[in-house]
Amino acid sequence: MSENQLAKLTESIVQIDVDGAMEAAEAVFSAEIPGLDILNNSLVPALERVGVLFRDGEYFLPDIMMCVSIYNQVFERIEPELKKGNYTSRGKIMLGTVKGDTHDIGKNILSALLQGNGFEVINLGMNVSPEVFLAKAKEMEPDVIGMSALLTTTMPEMKHTIDLFEEAGLRDKYKIVIGGAPVTQDFADKIGADGYGAEAQSGVDLLKQMLA
Amino acid sequence: MKSSDFKVLSDSEIKLIHQHSLGILESTGIRVNVKKMRDLLADHGCKVDEGSKIVMFPADVVEKLVGMAPREFKVCGPDAEKQWLISPDARIWSGLGTAIRFIDAGNPDRREATQEDVRKHMVLFDHLNNITCNQMDIMAQDIPMHTTHVEAIRTWANNCSKPTGMGAYGVMAATDMVEMLSIVIGGKEKLQDNHPFNVIVSIQSPLSTAAIQIEGMMILAEHRVPCIMAPEAMAGTTAPVTLAGLLVQHNAEIISHIAMAQAVNPGTPVMYGSVSTIAEMRWGSAALGAVETSLLSTASAQLAHYYDIPCRAVAGATDSKLIDIQAGIEREQSMTLAAMGGVNYITCVGTLESTNLGSHEMVVIDNEIIGRVERAIRGIEVNEISLALETIKHVGPDGNYLMEPHTQKHFRKEHFMPRVTDRDQLETWEKGGKKSMVDHAAAEVEKILESHQPREIDPGLSKELDRYVEMVANRTVADFEAAEWEY
C-alpha cells in the first residue's frame, strides 16, 4: 500500500503534475509513512529520473525548476521529522552572486539542481560582499561556498572574497568554488579557488565529487 | 495571428494561365502514348489523331473531368485507422527522390544505396514526428532491379505505420503494387476508400506522356489510388525560359493528366504535382535547388487551389553533393517558401544531389527544419494566457521567469525545441567533442534505430508478402516488357 502511494508521488513529480503531486503527498502524510521513506523511496528517485531526462535533452530548465519546487514543498513537511532522526544531507552549500553583480539566473539554476540532488542550499542572493560571505559562513558553517559572476568587471570580487577568508584564517575551513559565464578554469586556478563549473550540471558534478 | 502567406500570382493571373492552358490543350494537345488511354479520351469527347498520337482536349471536357477530382482525402498507414488529411487547407511533409547512392556522416565518399538503407529510412520516418509519407525514396542497388518495388512495399509494411507510395512503373509493376497493397490492407475493395499509397505519375514535358506512367496510373486509378501528377518542366529546355510560359504549359500537362485519371475512375483522389524548375543554363540539367523552384511550387499551389484540389510540390531538394551550407540554404529556403506558399504535400525530405543521393542524417535534420518552418507559420498567438499579465506582475522588476509555472506550462509549445541544433555554451561544446549539427544528427539516427519499436505485422500477412516478393523475384525483366500494352 505505502509502496503504491510513494510510487504515485514519484510519478507525479516526474510528470510535473503539481496538483497530482500535492494530492499524492497528502495521501502519503495521512498514511503516516516515515519521512526517511518518503525521501529515499520517492523524492530522491523522482529527481534522479528528472536528472536523467534533463541530461538526455527531454527535460528543460523550467521542468527542473517545477520538479524541485514540488520536492521542496514536500521536503519542508518532512524536514522536522528528518532532523529528529539521524538524517544528513549530501552537504551544505552556500551560494551567492558577488558584489556589484545582480545576475542570478545561473546561480538559481544551480541552486535548484543541487537541492534536487540532495544538497542543502543556502542562497545568499545577489550583490553579496566579501564581508557578508565571511559573516554568513561563520554563522551557517557550510561545507562549500559557491560564488558566481556574470560580468568581467565583477570577477575580481571573487578574488577579494577568497583573500578575505585567507586574512581571517578561515580559508582552509571551507571549499570555495566559482562559476558564471565569463569565468574559466584558468581564472579559478589563478585566484586560488578549489573548483570551477562551466554550467549548472557540471557544478553539481563537481560538488558531488568534492563531497563524496 | 497566423503568419501571412506567400503568393506569386494575382487572382487574374491565375485565371489567365488557366485560360491559356485550356487553349493549348484544345489547339496543340498532348501526345498520349498509350492506345487504351487515347480510346478512353476519344469516348469522352477528345479529338484523337492516331498517326501522331496527339489528343486535343476541348475545354469543356477538361473542366468537367477536373471538376470530378475530390477536394480532399485521407491517406493511411498499413493499419487503415491511422490517417492523415490531404487537402488544400492541410500540410504534410514527405520523402521522395530516388537515391541510388548514400552518404554517411563523417565520410565524404558516397556508396551504393542498399535495402538495409530502405529499412533504416522507413524506421526513421516511422519515428520522426514532422514527416509523414515515404515515397520509395531509395533505389536499393543490392537487389535485382525488377524487385525494387515489391521489396520496398514489404519493408514498409514490416517497419512503418505511416503511408507510402512510389512511381507508376508500367503494367506489371503497378499490378504488383495493387496486389501487395490489398494483402496489407485486407482486400482490393478496401483500397477504394483507404489510401495507404500515393502514386507519382511523372509527366513528360513538353506536352507529352510517359507510356509506362500512363499505364501504371490507369491500373492504380482503377483502385482509386491517389495520383500525383508531376511534371519536371525545366525553364529553358523542356519549357519556355520564362516562368509564366512554363506555368501555362505545365498547368496544361497537369490538368490533362488529372482529366485522364478521372476518365478512368471518376472521383479518384489526385494532387496537382510540381517538380518544375529552371534548367541550369551551362549544362541543360535541372536545378532543383534554385530559388525559382520555390516560385513555381508556390504558383502551383495557387493554381491547384484555383481547381480546389491539394498541391504537391518539391522543396528541400538541393543540388549540393554534400551536407554543407548550400544544402542548408537551398532546403531551408524552399521548405519555408513551399509551406508559406500553401503547398499541401511537400516532398523530398532526406535527399541531396538533386534527390539522387540519400542521407539518414539529412532526414533527421529535415525533421528539425520542418519544426522550425511550422513554428514560423504558426505566428504569434495573442490571448489572455499568452499575454501573461499576471505573471509579469508577479515577477516584477529584476525578477526571473524561469521558476514560473507559466514558463514550464508553455515553453514547449511557444518555443520550437530543437533536437540536433547546437546551442551549447562554448565550454560545454568543447568538452562534448566540438560536435556539429551533422554529428548530433548521426547520434540521433543511431539512437532512433536502436530504440524504435517498429509496428507489429500479422505473421500471416508477412508470409503472404514474402511469397509475393519471391514470385516477382523469379520473373525476368523481359516478363515486365511483355506485359506492356499497345502504345
Please name every residue paired with B277 in a beta bridge, in sequence order, or none if there are none.
Answer: B234
- Is the confidence at residue A106, as pLDDT, over 90? no
The whole-angstrom distance between A22's CA and the closest CA on chain B is: 15
Candidates B398, B419, B428; nearest CB to A57: B419
Question: Does A66 lie in the same domain as A152?
Answer: no
Contact A108 B431 (CB under 8 A): no
- Is the confidence at residue A86, as pLDDT, over 80? no
- The pLDDT confidence band at residue A1, using thresholds 50, 70 and 90, is low
Q: How many CA atoms does the CB half-sphere of B135 hold within 13 Å?
A: 31
Question: Does A52 lie in the same domain as A77?
Answer: yes
Question: Does A139 lie in the same domain as A67?
Answer: no
Cα dihedral value B371, B377, B378, B380, nearest 10? 120
CA B451, CA A34: separation in Å to the nearest integer?
Answer: 38
CB of B44 closer than 8 Å to CB of B62:
no
CA A106, CA B282: separation in Å to the nearest integer?
Answer: 55
Residue B124: the pLDDT is: 97
CATH of the domain at B9: 3.20.20.480
CA A40, CA A43: separation in Å to the nearest integer?
Answer: 6
CB of B7 closer than 8 Å to CB of B303:
no
Q: Is A104 on the interface with B (CB under 8 A)?
A: yes
Candidates A66, A109, A198; nearest CB to B427: A198
The whole-angstrom distance between B129's CA and the closest CA on chain A is: 15
Neighbouring CB atoms inside 10 A of B300's CB total 31
B344 falls within a domain = yes
Q: Helix, strand, or coil here: B164?
A: strand
Neighbouring CB atoms inside 10 A of B35's CB total 15
Q: Which helix (H) or strand (E) holds B112?
A: strand B110-112
Contacts for A91 with CB less than 8 Å, ≥ 6 apart: A119, A120, A143, A144, A207, A211
Q: Considering its fold, how many domains does chain B have in total?
A: 1
Cβ-Cβ contacts under 8 Å, A107 against chain B: none
CA A151, CA A156: separation in Å to the nearest integer?
Answer: 10
CATH of the domain at A70: 1.10.1240.10
Cell numbers given for B179: 496486389
Counting residues of chain A whose pLDDT is more than 70, the rounded percentage is 100
Domain boundary, last residue among A33, A61, A82:
A82
Candidates A16, A108, A181; nearest CB to B402: A108
Residue A164: name the closest of A202, A134, A143 by CA.
A134
What secondary structure does DSSP assign to B198-221, as a single string?
EEEEEEETTTEE-HHHHHHHHHHH
Alpha carbon A205 to its chain centroid, in Å, reads 11
Cell numbers given for A83: 532532523
CB of A144 closer than 8 Å to CB of A93:
yes
A87 falls within a domain = no
513537511: which residue's cell?
Answer: A77
What secondary structure does DSSP assign to B2-38, as a single string?
PPPP---S-HHHHHHHHHHHHHHHHHT-EE---HHHH
Q: What is the pLDDT of residues B382-419, one digit of tens each?
A: 999 999 999 999 999 988 898 899 999 999 999 999 99
CATH of the domain at A205: 3.40.50.280
Cβ-Cβ contacts under 8 Å, B411 against chain A: 60, 62
Q: Helix, strand, or coil here: A147?
A: strand
Average pLDDT of the residues of chain A: 91
CA A38, CA A75: separation in Å to the nearest integer?
Answer: 9
Cβ-Cβ contacts under 8 Å, B368 against chain A: none
Q: How many CA atoms does the CB half-sphere of B98 hold within 13 Å?
A: 9
Q: Helix, strand, or coil here: A104?
A: coil
Contact A60 B411 (CB under 8 A): yes
DSSP state of B435: -
Question: Does A196 lie in the same domain as A98?
Answer: yes
Domain boundary, last residue among A26, A54, A82:
A82
Q: What is the pLDDT of residues A11-64, one digit of tens each?
A: 999 999 999 999 999 999 999 999 989 998 999 899 889 988 988 889 998 998
CB of B184 closer than 8 Å to CB of B153:
yes
Contact B403 A57 (CB under 8 A): no
Contacts 24+ apart (CB under 8 A), A21-24: A21/A70, A21/A74, A22/A70, A22/A73
Q: Considering its fold, how many domains does chain A have in total?
A: 2
CA A154, CA A148: separation in Å to the nearest integer?
Answer: 9
A40 falls within a domain = yes
Instruction: Tell me which residue range forms the domain holding A183.
Output: 92-210
CB of B76 closer than 8 Å to CB of B194:
yes
Residue A146: name the closest of A81, A78, A98 by CA.
A98
A7 falls within a domain = yes
CA distances from B438 to A143, B365, B368, B451 (A): 43, 8, 12, 20
Cell numbers given for B84: 492523415
CA B22, CA B195: separation in Å to the nearest integer?
Answer: 30
Question: Does A99 lie in the same domain as A78?
Answer: no
The whole-angstrom distance between A141's CA and the closest CA on chain B is: 28
B397 falls within a domain = no
CA distances from B485 to B212, B214, B314 (A): 9, 10, 31
Contact B431 A198 (CB under 8 A): yes
Helices B291-306 and B11-27, interaxial angle, to 10°?
80
CB of B330 closer than 8 Å to CB of B317:
yes
Question: Does A96 lie in the same domain as A78?
Answer: no
Q: Measured on CA atoms in the order B5, B22, B171, B481, is the torsion positive or negative?
A: negative
Contact B405 A18 (CB under 8 A): yes
- The pLDDT confidence band at residue A155, using thresholds 50, 70 and 90, is very high
Domain boundary, last residue among A54, A82, A110:
A82
Question: Does A70 lie in the same domain as A160?
Answer: no
CB of A9 closer than 8 Å to CB of A18:
no
Q: Which amino acid is at A99?
A: K
Question: Does A192 lie in the same domain as A127?
Answer: yes
Question: Does A75 lie in the same domain as A97?
Answer: no
CA B271, CA B88: separation in Å to the nearest integer?
Answer: 10
544528427: which residue's cell?
Answer: B441
A11 falls within a domain = yes
Question: Does A96 lie in the same domain as A201?
Answer: yes
B387 falls within a domain = no
Which positions of chain B have pLDDT values less than 50?
A: none
Buried b or exposed e, range B269-285, using 16+ CB within 10 angstroms: bbbbbbbbbbbbeeeee
Question: Does A156 lie in the same domain as A63?
Answer: no
524506421: which residue's cell?
Answer: B123
A21 falls within a domain = yes
Candidates A18, A65, A198; nearest CB to B402: A65
| Residue of chain A minimizing CA distance to B411 | A62
Instruction: Tell me which residue range forms the domain holding B38.
Output: 1-379+418-487
- Whole-model pTM? 0.90
Question: Does A177 lie in the same domain as A106?
Answer: yes
